Structure 1
Amino acid sequence: MPPRINIPPVTRIVLIVLGLQSVLSAAIRYRQWTANSEIVIPYLNLIPQLSLVYPWTFLTTTLVESNVFTLSIACVALYHGGRYLERAWSSREFAKFLLIAALVPNVVCFGTSIVFFALTRDERWTLMPIAGTIPLQISFLVAFSQLVPAHTVTLFRGLLSMRVPRFPLLYIGVVTLLCVTPMLTAASFFLAAYGFLVSWTYLRFYKVAFPDLDTSQTASLRGDASETFAIAEFFPGPVRPLITAISDQVFNVLVAMHLCVPFSAADISAARGDHHHTFTHRGAPGSARAEAERRRALALRALDQRLHAATATAAARAQSAPVPPAVVPPIPSASGPTVQSQPQATAQNPMTAPQAGGGGLLGETNYNPDGDGHGDRNGP
């Protein structure tokens, strides 16, 4: 029997919708194809000049791929990235992340096309399809950069080694090169850039922080104030001071507009892993080790609960089992020896009656699981 592929619910729904819409788009293109016309589908793809009467396209256009190559990459990215993030965050948080990472870049890209049309009066900007899973793919890379910032990926048998926070910019570079070819349009570059900024902003300032399982407090802290998740960490070392200066100015403007809230000293201390706080940010230094310890503690806790449940079940079965009737020995006949003539026991059986103080032949075993002070006093 082949092994069952376990896909979380939100990831499964996204993959199904991506496949259905892409196949439908391909069928429509195949049926309407001509050598001298470019086919657009305004009720599936977001077309700035035509899709205002189809408002759902601002969301559905993300799950439409126009060729087999991009569809294959999208399926692989959504399958692996979706499974990992949905299990790490929960289905609700993952669905919220997908909604923001898909909708906001499409809206901003729509506005960018209108601006370029107003500046150039080139109608191609308003007839350019805005579609594809590019904003979701780069948002996954940004999320991985938060979860495992110190992880290094080695490719081509050690010829290329790169840390995870370097992949978003590399992805944008690859998309930019493909925009020169007929495979991608100029809208793909804007989707990649806006997807990077939107996903980082949401994870940095708005997403509910992951609570520490060792405490009973609720998850009320938002964002990730760790230094490893600063936007400058995505760029090479020589340009980081410039990126830091620009990002600080932009952040001050957003704070003045009440769009962002500055981090408090408690938030920064929590992101650095201060033990006086009750939340652990996954983007903090050493968070990969902390995550491994958390998973280990969960596994040990689950194993302990299963052992307790099995012990309780066995005890309940033993108590409910019927007690066998006592066997009465037969009465000796009159011709047998009398009680006075039977041999008397001269000593206790060492196998059944231990001596006082636990000094029997086989000794005595004391089991004290709680360690209440009656055992060895020389222990830790």
Structure 2
Amino acid sequence: MPPRINIPPVTRILLIVLGLQSVLSATIRYRQWTANSDIVIPYLNLIPQLSLVYPWTFLSTTLVESNVFTLTIACLTLYHGGRYLERAWSSKEFGKFLLICALVPNTLVFATTILFFTFTRDERWTLMTIAGTIPLQISFLVAFSQLVPAHTVTLFRGIISLRVPRFPLLYIGLVAVLCLTPMLTSASFLLSVFGLLTSWTYLRFYKPVFPDLDSSSQPSSLRGDASDTFAFAEFFPAPARPFVAGISSQVFNVLVAMRLCAPFSQADHSAARGDNTFIHHHRGAPGSARAEAERRRALALKALDQRLHAATANVAARAQSAPAPPAVQPPAPSATGPTVQTQPQVNTQKAMTTQGAGMLGETSYDPHGDGDRSNP
């Protein structure tokens, strides 16, 4: 039998909907195709001027690809990335992440095209199709940058080595190049940029995380990731990081003043470093990326160990609560000696012992004999 492909439920639904909607879109385009007209599907794709009466398109448009090349890339990305993230986070958290990273970028691109139309009066902005899995693809890259920040990908037999946090900007550059071709539209570039900002903001400030199991002073539920390895400047090359860090700090202060974000507490920084003290560990210390990766692995192992101990305790509790079998009381001895029923049992036991010795062979042990003592 061929091996069974195990796909988590949310990832499976994602791939099925992507395939069905992309095939439906291709069928409609094929049947309505003419040489002198651009075909739009306002009830499946998000078209700023036409899709307001179809509000579900703010979500459905994410799982529609317009050509075979982008559909293949989307299927591979969702299959591998979805399986990894759904198993790392749980189906519920992964579904929430997908919902946010699809809805928010589409809405922001919709508002941006309306704004461009307001200033330019060019209807091409409002008739532009906003579709594709680009916001999900770059969101997966951002999530990998959080989970494995120290991982290095080697390409072309070691000629190129890149850490995972470098891939989101490379992906945006690739999308920008493809936007110059008929394969992608200008909306795709906007989707990649807003997808990066949305996914990083959610993972940085809002996504629930597991607390450190060794700490009793931390709250039961923490949100965000205050580690230095997931700062926004880490996505950029080293020469540009101080400039980007300065701008992002100012933007963060404005958001805190507007009460859209909450500043990180000492508990958040302690959880990000995986310790309970603030003296012996400093932010930005050498090896912090590797330490962050090891901390995340340790937290996952502790959570698994806690679940195993809980399951073992439940089995032991059930065994203790089960009723004990009734004890067999031996017959009371008679004052005149053994009864008639007792005597045959002794004879039977002796007979069985003698018969067993004859069948299995005899073994004698003589501590003072002269047998072979070479084998211990």
Question: TM class by shorter-chain length?
Answer: 0.7 to 0.9
| Equivalent residue, structure 1, for 2:77 | 77
| Equivalent residue, structure 1, for 2:195 | 195
- Residues 303 and 222 from structure 1, CA distance in 2 versus in 1: closer, same or farther, beyond 3 angstroms? closer
| Equivalent residue, structure 1, for 2:57 | 57
- Residues 67 and 322 from structure 1, CA distance in 2 versus in 1: closer, same or farther, beyond 3 angstroms? farther
Give the TM-score, by structure 2 length. 0.78
Check conservation: 2:229, 2:292, Cα contact below 8 A. no
Q: Does residue 11 in structure 1 map to residue 11 in structure 2?
A: yes
Matched position secondary structure for 1:286: helix
How well do the aligned residues superpose, as a CA RMSD in angstroms? 3.1
| Equivalent residue, structure 1, for 2:183 | 183
Paired amino acid for 1:40: V
| Equivalent residue, structure 1, for 2:355 | none
Aligned length: 329
| Equivalent residue, structure 2, for 1:257 | 258
| Equivalent residue, structure 1, for 2:25 | 25
Distance 1:223 1:158 in 2: 34
| Equivalent residue, structure 2, for 1:290 | 295
Q: Residue 300 of structure 1: CA displacement?
A: 6.0
| Equivalent residue, structure 2, for 1:220 | 221
**What percentage of aligned pairs have identical amino acids?**
70
Matched position secondary structure for 1:127: coil
Check conservation: 2:213, 2:302, Cα contact below 8 A. no
Instruction: Note the alpha carbon deviations across 1:32-76, whole angstroms, 9 max, x for none.
Output: 111111100000000001001111101110010001111111111
Distance 1:87 1:74 in 2: 19
- Structure 1 residues 88-103: aligned runs within 5 Å: 88-103=88-103
Check conservation: 1:98, 1:136, Cα contact below 8 A. yes
Matched position secondary structure for 1:66: coil
Distance 1:183 1:242 in 2: 34
Instruction: Note the alpha carbon deviations across 1:243-284, whole angstroms, 9 max, x for none.
Output: 11111111111112111111122322321222359xxxxx97
| Equivalent residue, structure 2, for 1:357 | none
Instruction: Note the alpha carbon deviations across 1:181-235, whole angstroms, 9 max, x for none.
Output: 1000000000000000011111111111223355688642211111111101100
Paired amino acid for 2:253: N
Q: Residue 11 of structure 1: CA displacement?
A: 1.1
293-302 or 88-97: which moved more? Answer: 293-302
| Equivalent residue, structure 1, for 2:247 | 246
Q: Does residue 273 in structure 1 map to residue 274 in structure 2?
A: yes
- Residues 314 and 274 from structure 1, CA distance in 2 versus in 1: closer, same or farther, beyond 3 angstroms? closer
Distance 1:92 1:47 in 2: 30
* Larger helix share, 1 or 2: 2
Paired amino acid for 1:184: L
Distance 1:175 1:125 in 2: 18
| Equivalent residue, structure 1, for 2:230 | 229
Paired amino acid for 2:56: W
- Residues 274 and 302 from structure 1, CA distance in 2 versus in 1: closer, same or farther, beyond 3 angstroms? closer
- Residues 252 and 293 from structure 1, CA distance in 2 versus in 1: closer, same or farther, beyond 3 angstroms? closer
Give the TM-score, by structure 1 length. 0.77
3-12 or 302-311: which moved more? Answer: 302-311
Matched position secondary structure for 1:126: coil
| Equivalent residue, structure 1, for 2:281 | none
Paired amino acid for 1:243: V
Check conservation: 2:210, 2:221, Cα contact below 8 A. no
Q: Residue 92 of structure 1: CA displacement?
A: 1.2
Matched position secondary structure for 1:132: coil
Distance 1:78 1:54 in 2: 26
Distance 1:295 1:270 in 2: 14
- Residues 209 and 132 from structure 1, CA distance in 2 versus in 1: closer, same or farther, beyond 3 angstroms? same
Paired amino acid for 1:86: E
Instruction: Note the alpha carbon deviations across 1:8-29, whole angstroms, 9 max, x for none.
Output: 1111111111111111101101
Check conservation: 2:212, 2:271, Cα contact below 8 A. no
Distance 2:142 2:293 in 1: 16
210-219 or 24-33: which moved more? Answer: 210-219
Instruction: Note the alpha carbon deviations across 1:67-122, whole angstroms, 9 max, x for none.
Output: 11111111111111111111111111111111110000001100111111122211
Q: Does residue 129 in structure 1 map to residue 129 in structure 2?
A: yes
- Structure 1 residues 128-147: aligned runs within 5 Å: 128-147=128-147
Distance 2:276 2:238 in 1: 30
| Equivalent residue, structure 1, for 2:334 | none
- Residues 331 and 3 from structure 1, CA distance in 2 versus in 1: closer, same or farther, beyond 3 angstroms? closer
Distance 2:345 2:242 in 1: 102
| Equivalent residue, structure 1, for 2:166 | 166
Distance 1:21 1:152 in 2: 35
Distance 1:20 1:254 in 2: 40
Check conservation: 1:49, 1:126, Cα contact below 8 A. yes
| Equivalent residue, structure 1, for 2:354 | none
| Equivalent residue, structure 1, for 2:359 | none
Distance 1:332 1:255 in 2: 89
Matched position secondary structure for 2:126: helix
Check conservation: 2:272, 2:292, Cα contact below 8 A. no
- Structure 1 residues 307-318: aligned runs within 5 Å: none
Paired amino acid for 1:190: L
